[in-house]
Every structure is written in structure tokens, then in C-alpha cells.
Structure 1
Amino acid sequence: MRHAVSRERQRPRTRLRRWRLLAASGSALVVAVALLGAAGVLPLGNVRMVASAGDSVLVDRSRQIADRSQRAGGEQPTSRPAATARPTAAPSPSHTTATKQAPAGVADATVALDAVSATVGDKMPAGTGDGKRIVYSLSANRVWLVGADDTVGRSYLVSGTKFGQVSPGSYQVLRKRRHTTSYDGADRMQYMVTFTHGRNAAIGFHDIPIVISTGRAIQTRLQLGQSLSDGCVRQDPADAKALWEFAPVGTKVVVLR
């Protein structure tokens, strides 16, 4: 048993001796070839090839013997470190899609306004007469379109005069203009239905005026129901068109306090 162990221990030394002999032989071969090349016996290119081949053989052989020596001594061959995986980059903010929601209350306000503008059957004050007519309440800032059978076909909020230029009473449609401007030329309106005259100009129903210099509406739809005009009756564009189509020249207009 001791002899077997001693033999195993002596094997690496024997292999190292063989390696030394091989290295010495290889070196002698390289030196001999170099001398022959210097003397002109062998071409210089062949000398370089032999030298390179000899070096490669010696290097490979030395690695093999070194590996065997390490294994015999109980050592494990050194392995190359594993490649480190590159961390995945986080998505760029420019590629992130964000969904924006409309501010709360905006859509609801629009729907609510449309519902008010198109309300059918709102209770109309008594004593407005009979037959087809337009009923306009100064205090309520509301208009009713009443059919020939005394049925309310449309009721909606408006913005009437803030200067008291219109008095309660009975009127009729005098003129209709699809496009017009204010008396000072600063604003433009559509669907003008005139039923009386004020101090400076005709007074009638039309849509919300647009300021010509800025292209913006003079008021918002949400402000309908307030007395904001100089004398005319401002309406939502849809309601202004509905009244325009409803009332030909001569249609009765009843103005209530």
C-alpha cells in the first residue's frame, strides 16, 4: 500500500523530468534551425514558421503537464469567470405612454347644459296667449318655443339685457338675418331674429357673439341664465338655430317680466 502511494507521488516528478527533456530538445531544435537560417541553408520564412510551431508545441505541452500535476495534487483546474449579464435598462420616459383624463366636471357640465337647452315641457307661466309664439321671461332668462297647439316644443336658458332696454309686452318677428354684427362693429353674431329696437340698434334673439378682434366668444355657455347683454337675447348656437328655423317673420313674441 505504501509502495502504491509512493508511486503515485513520484509520477508528477517523472512527468516534470520528461517535460524538461522535451523543452530542452525543442530549444535545441529551434537553435539549430536558427543557425541554418543564418547560414543561408534554410529560407528565413521557413525558420520563422519552425520557431513559431516549436513555441506553440512547447506552450501546449506545458499546459497539459501543468494541468495533470494539479489534478494529481488534488487541485481543480482554474475555470474562467462566468460572463456577467448586463442589467436590463429601464424603459425611457419618452417611451412611457401615459393616458390623461379630462378634468372632472367638464363633460358633466356640458351634458347638463345640453339637457337644459333641449328640455321639453318646462312649465311655462300662464297668460301668454295662444297659438304659435315665442315666450321670453326677463327675470328667469328663459325662452319657450310654443307650437300652434300650445305645446312647448323647446325651452332653454338665455342671457338677456342688463340695462332694461326691453319692456314686457307683445311683439312680433320683424326681420331675420343669418349673419350680422353689433352696432359698434366689434362683435359678430348668427341667426339674428329681430323683434324690437333699442336706443342704438335692433334687439332680437341670436347666438353668443364672437369678438372679431380676438375670435373668442363674449361669454361662455355656462353663463347662460344671467343678464349679460346690452339689449339682445343671447342663446346657445344650437338653440339660436332652432329659434331661427321655428319663427318666420310675423311670429308672435311674448315678453314677460
Structure 2
Amino acid sequence: MARSSSGIVAGLTVAAVAAVGFLAYQASANVPDNLGKPHTAKSSKAPTSKAPRDKKNPAALPAESGTGERVVYSVDDDRVWLVAANNKTQRTFKVTPSTVDPLPATYHVTSRSNAITGSDGTPIEHVVRFAANDGVAIGFSAAVSGSTAKPDSAAKTGGIRESREDGDAMWTFATIGVKVVVIK
């Protein structure tokens, strides 16, 4: 009796794995070509020149960084702003950039992972992906160790590292579809 029920369980497991594989294939075949790529509409494009800054308060939200709920990431300043729908900054913090930067544009959060291993082999958490550049997926993440060390410049990585505390805030704020504005 035990032998026949283990055969049934094995058969059901094989069927479930095959079904999941088929559904994953269908999902990947139906992903729009522009998912994770910058939108090209003129109204959503971020400025390509450096956005004006408040010289007295360098942590102030840059002018011309969009409107409404959004994450603003300055490539030049290595800083992130989490901005509420009323255009008030909820949080701002410094980050450690990856070796591959996103291009200045407006994106949307396309996927998230609670805990994975980064492309550099580091265990990371609260991954929020929004772009790709040069074949590299780009997103925000926090190293489980809390490290924000600069990545190996010889490696092509897209992980913009935050502290664990800032990573928690990003994870809560930047759900699927939230706008991410990348500026210089």
C-alpha cells in the first residue's frame, strides 16, 4: 500500500512541476517587449541634463524630478527620494551605485524578490527591479550582512545597494507599478 501511494505522490509532483513550467513559459511568452524599459512619452521622460539642486540643502528633492508618487534616483548624487502622491518626500537616503547605471528616464517597478543571491554572490533582500541596461537587470537591494561596499568594478552588476533600514522602507514603498524617475 505504501508503495502505491508514493507512486501517486510522485506522479502528482511530476504533473505539478510540468504545469508550473508550462504556466511560466506562457507568462514569459506574453510579457510586453517594453516591460522594464523607459517610457518614451515626452511627458514622462526625465531630463537628461542634471536636475537643479538646492545648494543650501543637498538632500532636498531635485526640481524637475516628476510629480506624484515616485522613487527618484540621482545617478550623479547616489541618492534616493521616496516621494508620496502629494509630492512630499517621505524619506531620502544615500545608496551605493552598481557598476551598470540605469539611463535617465521614467520607469516603473516591474518585479520584486524578498530574498535572493545577488549577481555578485552576496545574499540580498528586498530587491526592487525597475530597469535594464546593457543586458543587466537594475534594481535596489540591501545586503543581508548590512554591507554597502562598492561592487567589483570588473563585474557587470545592477544592484543599487541600500542599508537594511532603507531597504525596508523601499520594499514597503516601491510596489509593482510604482514610478521610478532616474535623473543625473
Correspondence for 1:11: none
For residues 253 and 198 of structure 1, the distance between their equivalents in structure 2, rounded to whole angstroms, comes to 15
Correspondence for 2:139: 204
User: Alignment RMSD, CA only?
Assistant: 2.5
Higher gyration radius (CA): 1
The structure 2 residue matched to 1:130, chosen from 67, 70, 80, is 67
Q: Is the 8 A contact 2:107 2:180 kept in 1?
A: yes
Q: Per residue, is there more strand in 1 or in 2?
A: 2
Q: Is the 8 A contact 1:183 1:200 kept in 2?
A: no
Q: Per residue, is there more helix in 1 or in 2?
A: 1
User: Deviation of residue 143 (structure 1)?
Assistant: 0.2
For residues 96 and 148 of structure 2, the distance between their equivalents in structure 1, rounded to whole angstroms, comes to 11
User: Deviation of residue 208 (structure 1)?
Assistant: 3.0
> TM-score if structure 1 supplies the norm length?
0.44
Q: Is the 8 A contact 1:173 1:248 kept in 2?
A: yes
Q: Is the 8 A contact 1:183 1:201 kept in 2?
A: no
Correspondence for 1:48: none
The structure 1 residue matched to 2:168, chosen from 241, 246, 255, is 241
- State how 1:60-99 maps to structure 2 within 5 Å: none
1:168 aligns with 2:104: yes
For residues 198 and 237 of structure 1, the distance between their equivalents in structure 2, rounded to whole angstroms, comes to 25
Which consecutive unaligned segments of at least 5 residues does structure 1 have?
A: 1-120, 211-215
The structure 1 residue matched to 2:92, chosen from 155, 173, 180, is 155
User: Deviation of residue 229 (structure 1)?
Assistant: 8.2
- State how 1:1-257 maps to structure 2 within 5 Å: 122-163=59-100, 165-183=101-119, 186-208=121-143, 210=145, 217=147, 219=149, 230-257=157-184
User: Deviation of residue 183 (structure 1)?
Assistant: 3.1
Correspondence for 2:11: none
User: Deviation of residue 209 (structure 1)?
Assistant: 6.0
> TM-score if structure 2 supplies the norm length?
0.60
Q: String of CA shifts for 1:152-179, please: whole Å, max 9, x gaps.
A: 010000011334x311111010011101
Count matched residues. Answer: 123
**Residues 152 and 193 from structure 1, CA distance in 2 versus in 1: closer, same or farther, beyond 3 angstroms?**
same
Which amino acid in 1 is paired with 2:66?
G
Q: Identity, % of aligned pairs?
A: 32
Q: Secondary structure at the residue paired with 2:103?
A: coil
RCO higher in 1 or 2 (8 Å CA, sep ≥ 6)? 2
Which consecutive unaligned segments of at least 5 residues does structure 2 have?
A: 1-57
